[in-house]
Structure formats: structure tokens, C-alpha cells
Amino acid sequence: MLRPRTGQGGALQDKDGTIDWVARARGLAPVVAAAAQHTERDRRIAPEVIAAIDEAGIPRMLMPASLGGGAADILTFNRVIEVLAAADASTAWCMAQTLASSHAAGFLDPQIAREVFGAPKAVVAWGPPGGPTRAQVVDGGYRVAGKWRFASGSANATWMGGHSQVYERDGAPRLDAAGRPVMRTMLFKPSQATIHDTWHVIGLRGTASNDYEVSDLFVTEPYTTWRDQASDRREPGPLYNIPLLTLYGIGFSGVALGIAEASLRAFMALAQTKKPGGGLGSQQVLRDNAVIQSKVAQATGRLSGARALLHESLRDIWQASSTAGTFALDQRAMLRVAITGAMDNAREVVDFAYHAAGTTAIFEGSAFERRFRDLHTALAQGQAHLSNFEAAGQALFGVEPTQRL
């Protein structure tokens, strides 16, 4: 069950007993922000942050109520991640990853789901294959071998997963009705894997998005699942109609918006006192510069517009999932436009704040340089790729896109 939050003002509940997850995230923000430099330096989420997030129940906010989870909606998920990202992007990225991954709780045996996703300080890390993977069918489960990449949260992980191709006992690949390889996600403890310290990057350093591998690891059948597979599904709620890959986009777009919001706020605070040329030229502060005024207004509109479209799309998708259980092609297209558009608009806002801050921005520890690095690292993820707009455009023309929305 969700443990009541005892820190920072006690459990945050409305009069009707519901949980205000966004308020909880705001309560956590000072703790997350205070540890941000340590998270960056140590290349892992600071222990006090993990403890505070766990106490607030955040890792269980998307789990179904039947498993003691918060059963939150996708708009709340996005807003929580944005609040955390404004405090520290690495922390928010890991939470977006592990919260979206908790979608698998609706496709596992309830006892296993509680063990993996409901455990204290639960952080589940997994990533795409980094080469051939193999899950050989044996009595009771699989013999697994493979290597995977980008396991965000690996330094704090309590469980890991390996998306693996299934092979029959005779060594033949298992195929579905359409002739495609069958995949399963194998769940195992971090101690059962070899984690490679590969995450030496310019941004999101605290995510520890390392490579990892296993060799001849036995995984029992109950500790396996596959995303969105109807035969595995155990939960009826609206969350489980939404593809897991879409949930990642919902979370990661929240990261981008949070970084952009914090960058713009930091620049507007700086503009109150900073003078061009170190004060040797104009005595006018940046706030009073007509170009800066115009650019701040445009950046504010860009950020607010991107957020509004994303929130509208999330409400629309959640409503459709709660009623029809399926989504029209144009709904899927608009959600993809909103997710990728939010990340692209966040880039423009962050770039403006970074460049407009001048030399103030380039020093380590400034309010701009880490956020600039974090945002541009986040944009390397597939949810931000501009090719997503092509697929959305095809869908808006009524054509089922070749690239999954």
C-alpha cells in the first residue's frame, strides 16, 4: 500500500481523500534541487532524494489501486514530471522512466507486480537491446543472454529488465501469427547483471543510463511480460489501453517542459539586475531592453502554448481510453504532435535563455549550463526526433503511418 507521507507537511490529500500528486511533487522540489549538484557529480540520484520520493509514494502513483497504487491519470503524470524536472532533470528523467515502466504492473501476476514495482524505493531500469538477445525456452522459464543499453536509473535500480527475443527449445525463433519475432521482457535483480559504466555524456549525467548484460541467466516465466500484450493483461483500467512507448513520451515531454520553465524563470530573474557588457556599456538592465522584452514574451507564449496543447491532448486521450478504450487516428496524431512539439519548443526556450544570459550561462553551476546540457541530451531520445512529425502528418491525412505513433 502507499505509505502516508510524513515529511514536509504530512500526507497531501483533498477532502474527498484523493491524493494531490502535483502538490507532493512541489513539496519534493526543494529536496531534489538541493541535491542536484551531487546527483550530477556522483552520476546517480542522491540517496536522500530517492528516500524522499519513495516517502511521497511517487514511484507507485501510476500503479493500479488493486495493487495499492495511486492509479493516477496521464496528465497528472506529465505534470509531476515537469515539476521534478524544474528542480533536477536527471531525477525527473529516472522517475519518468520508472513510472512509465510500472505500466508492466498491469501485465504481471499481482504478487510479482508488488514485488517489483511496489517495493520500497523501487526503481526499475531497462533499455533497448544493444545487440542480439536470446531467451531460450526451458522448463519453468527461460535461459537468457543479451546486452542492452540506456538503462536510466541503473545506479539506483532495485530491478532491471531485458527485452529479449524468444527461442523455442529446439533453437528456432518463436514467431507470432504475422511471422514476426516474439519478444518478452525478462525481470531480474541488478546483482544478476553486469552493468557497464558507459554513461559518460554531456547531460543527464545523474541518470546512470548505462549498458548492461546477462549470460545464461535463468528467469522463471512469472517474471516475464511484454508491453501491451493482451494475453498478459490483468488490469482493466484506462492506463493499460495506452501503449507503453507513448507513456515514455508523456513523461519525457514533461522533463523538457520542466527544464524550459526553470531556464526561462532563471533568465527573467537575471534580467532584473544584469547589464550588457558587464555594466561598462549601457547602464540599462536586460529587463528594460526592448529586444529582450519581446523575446521573453515570445518564449513565454511558446512554452505556454506547447504545454496547453499537450495537456489538451492528454485529457482527450484519457477520456477516450476511459470510455471507448481505443483511439482515433487523429487523436494519436495530435498526441504525437503535442509530445514532440513540446520537446522542440522547450529547446527553443532553453536556447534563448542560455544565449540571452551571455557569459553568465557558460560557467559551471550557473542556472543555465546544466539545464542546457540536460535538455540537449534529452532531445537525443526518440520521442523528440523530428521524424515523429512525418508519422503524425501521415495520420492527419488518414494514412496509418509506417512509424508507430
pLDDT digits (tens, 9 = 90+) for 296-306: 999 999 999 99
Q: Is residue 401 one of the residues assigned to a domain?
A: no
3-state secondary structure of 347: helix
Does the pLDDT at position 281 exceed 90? Answer: no
- The answer to whether residue 390 is domain-embedded is yes
What is the pLDDT at residue 123?
A: 94
CA distance 163 to 141: 15
Q: Is 144 in the same domain as 96?
A: no
* Tens of pLDDT, residues 243-252: 999 999 999 9
79-135 tens-digit pLDDT? 999 999 999 999 999 999 999 999 999 999 999 999 999 999 999 999 999 999 999
Q: State residue 278's pLDDT score.
A: 63
- Shared-domain flag, residues 204 and 76: no
248 closest CA partner among 232, 264, 225, 228: 228
Residues 300 and 317 in one domain: yes
Domain-terminating residue out of 196, 226, 256: 226
Residue corresponding to grid cell 526592448: 290
CA-CA-CA-CA torsion sign (226, 229, 235, 241) = positive
Q: Identify whether residues 147 and 250 lie together within a single domain.
A: no
Residue 199 is classified by DSSP as -
How far is 45 from 68, CA to CA, in rounded Å? Answer: 25
For residue 233, being part of any structural domain is answered with no
Count structural domains, the chain.
3
Asked if the structure places residue 360 within a domain, the reply is yes
The x, y and z cell numbers of residue 189, run together, are 535483480
Residue 246 shares a structural domain with residue 381: yes
Q: What average pLDDT does the structure give for the chain? A: 94
Of 247, 228, 201, nearest to 78 (Cα)? 247
Residues 102 and 177 in one domain: no
Domain span at residue 222 reads 124-226
Positive or negative CA dihedral for 126, 127, 128, 132?
Answer: negative
Query: Do 358 and 278 fall into the same domain?
Result: yes
**25 assigned to some structural domain:** yes
Please report whether residue 281 resides in a domain: yes
Strands 224-225 and 210-220, bridge-based pairing: unpaired
Question: Which triple of cell numbers denotes residue 170?
Answer: 529446439
Angle among Cα 322, 401, 337 to the nearest 5 degrees reads 60
* 35 in the same domain as 50: yes
Give the three-state DSSP class for 10: coil
78 and 174 inside one domain: no
218 part of a folded domain: yes
Name the E strands within 334-396. none
Instruction: Specify the range with the lowest mean pLDDT, choosing from 32-36, 81-85, 276-280, 379-383.
Output: 276-280
| pLDDT for res 34 | 98
Q: How far apart, in whole angstroms, are the C-alpha atoms of residue 50 and residue 108?
A: 25
- Return the pLDDT at 18: 81
Instruction: For residue range 314-366, list pLDDT tens digits in order.
Output: 999 999 999 999 999 999 999 999 999 999 999 999 999 999 999 999 999 99
pLDDT category of residue 169 using cuts at 50, 70 and 90: very high
**Mean pLDDT, range 153-165, rounded to an integer:** 97
